[in-house]
Amino acid sequence: MKYTDLTTKTEVELLASLKEKKLELFTLKAKQKTMQLTNTTELSAAKKDIARIQTALTAVRSK
């Protein structure tokens, strides 16, 4: 996910994708704890996506 893709979305869409990514991060952490996660780079990618979405939300709300 790139930041430029997020700039065209509305606040409602951003909140929905943020909720989805947080749920994904939760499931990835659970898989890691139970030794089912093979690709651990998915954790950092999900965290970075959450940060990008939150940055876009801040930009939308400040307008």
pLDDT at 63: 80
pLDDT at 61: 94
Dihedrals φ, ψ of 18, to 5°?
Answer: -65, -45
Cα–Cα distances in angstroms (integers) from residue 33 to residues 10, 20, 30, 36, 45, in the given order: 35, 20, 5, 8, 18
Q: Length of the chain, please?
A: 63
Q: What are the tens digits of pLDDT across the range 33-52?
A: 999 999 999 999 999 999 99
6-38 pLDDT, tens digit per residue, is 999 999 999 999 999 999 999 999 999 999 999
Domains delineated in the chain? 3-62 (1.10.287)
Q: What is the pLDDT of residue 27?
A: 97
What is the CB-side half-sphere exposure of residue 14 using CA atoms within 13 A? Answer: 22
Residue 1 banded pLDDT, cuts 50, 70, 90: confident
